[in-house]
Amino acid sequence: MTALLRRHPLLPLGVLFGAFLLLAPTFTGRGTQNDLWNMAFFVVLAAAWNLLGGFAGQVSLGYSAFVGIGAYTTVLLSKAGWSPWLTLPVGAALAVAFSVAVGLPTFRLRGPYFTIATIGVGEAVRVIASGLEFTGGSSGLRMPAGTFDFLANYYAMVGLALATLVLVAWLTQHAFGLALEAIRQDIDGAEALGVHSTQVKLQAHAISSALVALAGGLFATNFQYISPGSVFDFRLSLTIVLMPIIGGMGTLTGPVLGAMLFSILQIKLLASPALRDSYLFIYGGLLIVVMLFEPRGIMGLLERLWTRLVRRQVPAVAESPGAG
């Protein structure tokens, strides 16, 4: 237990927060619950993406494709008579298949080349979805009547968010996490040490795509209407990447902080007419400031502050003589 706490000092906070989320419907209004749902949704997307993007350093800008796959699978199967809950694993399975199909050719690419390829894939999927008849084309699709149940959806989304965090934490604590880290730092070195980098990347991609697709399916049930513009959008892909980056890539708490900040910002900005016209300034400015001053995001900032504080408290600690 103490070992767990030492490794994750913020765990008690996390547990409290999780409890808050689970109990929230008993004492908050629908507006707040909507906001919390949004936050949970973003937490899933950010934390799942972070597995491949933050820990393994493979930045994909095409994750909206998985949101869309989950959403469309849920709507199409629900319209065919399935219970929306049963459609979720199907969506996840399809997302995994797609992630492998995309990953096999593209994981050969390094760094920004991989990123560009994922942009291409994401956009191609959007265009195809807008063109196909059975996906409703650009008109989008509606869930059949009677499938809306906010409370159940809320608990499912919060549960998914917590499960995602636990899963990512567990995965990254073991050999898998070390492999991801090794790939991020030096892929050739990792290979030399026996890490099957492509296999590991594919696994990370598959797991994260499944989680994102589950979130997409819940999204479809919550909003009852989806269209290529809402789920296959490039801006969604960028948002998914933005959150872990601002919060801190490659950390467990980073994506959560990023998701929280992002959803709070969304709410505050849109609700106030004064800020409404400048929201692009604010987003853009935030991005610029973070990238310039603390690319490791909020977690990086906190870490810097923490080290400064620790240094201050223990001034007698000298630099180890042999280091450097």
Partner 1 sequence: MNRIPSLALLVGLGVGLTARAQDEIRIGAVLPVTGKESKIGGAYKQATELAVKEANDAGGVQVGGKKMKVNLALLDDTSDAAKSAQLVEQLITQNKSHAIIGGYGSHLVQAQSVVPDRYGVPYLSGGAGATAIYGRSKWVFGTLSPVEHLAETQMAFLDDLVKQGKLKTPLTIALVTENTEHGNDYAKGVNDFIKAHPGYKVVVQEKFELNTTDYHPLLQRVAEVKADLFLADSHLEDFIAMHRTYTQMGLHHQMLTHGARGSDAAARKALGPATDYIFASGWWSDLLPYPQVKEFSGRYKSATGTEPQWYHAMAYETTRALLAAISKAGSLEPEKIRAALAGLRLEKSIVPGQVLSFTKTGQCDLPFVVTQNKPGGKVDLVWPKDSKTGDPVAPIPPPK
Partner 2 sequence: MQKLVVVALNSLLAAGLYATMSYGLAVIYGVMRIINLAHAGLMMLAAYATFALNDRFALDPFLSIGIVAPAFFLIGMGLYATLIRWLPRSSAGPSMQSLLLLFGVWLVLQNLAYSIWGGDTQSILTPYTMESIPLLGGRFGVPQILVFLASILSLVGLNLVLRRTFLGKAIRAVTQNRDAAMLSGVNAGQIAAVAFGIGTAFAAMAGSMLSTLYAFTPDFGRSFLLKAFCIIVLGGMESFTGVAVGALVLAFIENFASAYTSIPVSYQDAISFTLLVVVLVAAPGGLPGLWRTFDRRVVAR
* Residue ranges in contact with partner 1 by CB under 8 A: 26-27, 29-31, 34, 38, 127, 130-131, 137-140, 142, 145, 148, 150, 219, 223-225, 227, 229-230, 266, 270-271, 273, 276-277, 279-280
Can you name the residues that pair with 142 across neighbouring β-strands?
Answer: 225
Tell me which of 9, 12, 189, 284 binds partner 2, using CB under 8 A.
284
- Residue closer to partner 1, measured from CB, 24 or 169: 24
What are 263's two structure tokens?
């959803």
AA identity, residue 202: L
AA identity, residue 267: I
Rg (CA), the chain: 21
Tell me which of 39, 195, 242, 257 binds partner 2, using CB under 8 A.
242
User: Helix (H, G, I), strand (E, B), or coil: what is residue 148?
Assistant: coil
By CB under 8 A, residue 57 contacts partner 2: yes
Question: Are 262 and 246 spatial neighbours (Cβ–Cβ below 8 Å)?
Answer: yes
By CB under 8 A, residue 241 contacts partner 2: yes
Query: How far apart are the C-alpha atoms of 269 and 272, rounded to whole Å?
Result: 6
- Residue closer to partner 1, measured from CB, 36 or 200: 36
Q: Spell out the SS3 assignment of 82-125.
A: CCHHHHHHHHHHHHHHHHHHHHHHHCCCCHHHHHHHHHHHHHHH
User: Helix (H, G, I), strand (E, B), or coil: what is residue 142?
Assistant: strand
Taking the complex as a whole, the smallest distance from the CB of residue 124 to partner 2 amounts, in Å, to 4
Tell me which of 5, 12, 16, 105 binds partner 2, using CB under 8 A.
105
Question: Are 212 and 46 spatial neighbours (Cβ–Cβ below 8 Å)?
Answer: no
Could you tell me which stretch among 38-46, 139-147, 169-177, 272-280 binds partner 2 (CB under 8 A)? Answer: 272-280
Q: What is the DSSP letter of 38?
A: H
Question: Are 77 and 147 spatial neighbours (Cβ–Cβ below 8 Å)?
Answer: no
By CB under 8 A, residue 11 contacts partner 2: no
Question: Are 253 and 299 spatial neighbours (Cβ–Cβ below 8 Å)?
Answer: yes
By CB under 8 A, residue 188 contacts partner 2: no
Taking the complex as a whole, the smallest distance from the CB of residue 49 to partner 2 amounts, in Å, to 13
Task: Give the binding site for partner 2 (CB under 8 A).
Answer: 57, 59, 105-106, 108-109, 111-113, 115-117, 119-121, 123-124, 127-128, 130-131, 184-186, 234, 238, 241-242, 245, 277-281, 283-288, 290-292, 295
